[in-house]
């Protein structure tokens, strides 16, 4: 994960196909075990917290990072948890930048 987390999310160009299973597997293996690939379309992970305030703080940290990286996940906030879903909307599937962003999310996760 440290290698992915140290990289920048680079936007993909139009016409680039989404990653296939052969390219997804090695990238997924570099992430924390809680990440899952859903329908070969997006990455998802649910982070757990002790309360709503901690989950909200995490959402805000991801939001700031998303603006810096120019890559914007779907975030689902609930009491004690935040679900992060990541994919590249331009290609309606997974790109290497999605795995970079996922690794960066893990570096922001600091449960108390």
Neighbours of 41 (CB within 10 A): 13
User: Domains of the chain, with CATH numbers?
Assistant: 2-9+19-108 (3.30.1360.20)
Give the integer Cα–Cα distance in Å for 74 and 71: 10
Over residues 23-52, the pLDDT tens digits come to 999 999 999 999 999 999 999 999 999 999
Contacts of 30 (CB under 8 A, 6+ apart): 1, 3, 4, 99, 103
How does pLDDT run across 54-85, given as a tens digit for each residue? 999 999 999 999 999 999 999 999 999 999 99
């Amino acid at each position: 994960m440290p290698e992915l987390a140290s990289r920048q999310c680079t936007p993909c160009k139009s016409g680039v196909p989404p990653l296939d299973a052969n390219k997804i597997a090695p990238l997924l293996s570099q992430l924390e075990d809680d990440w899952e690939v859903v329908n070969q379309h997006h990455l998802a992970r649910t982070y757990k917290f002790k309360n709503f305030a901690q989950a909200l703080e995490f959402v805000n940290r991801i939001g700031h990072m998303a603006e810096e990286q120019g890559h914007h996940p779907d975030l689902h906030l609930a009491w004690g948890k935040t679900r992060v879903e990541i994919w590249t909307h331009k290609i309606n599937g997974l790109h290497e930048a999605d795995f970079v962003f996922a690794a960066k999310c893990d570096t922001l996760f600091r449960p108390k």
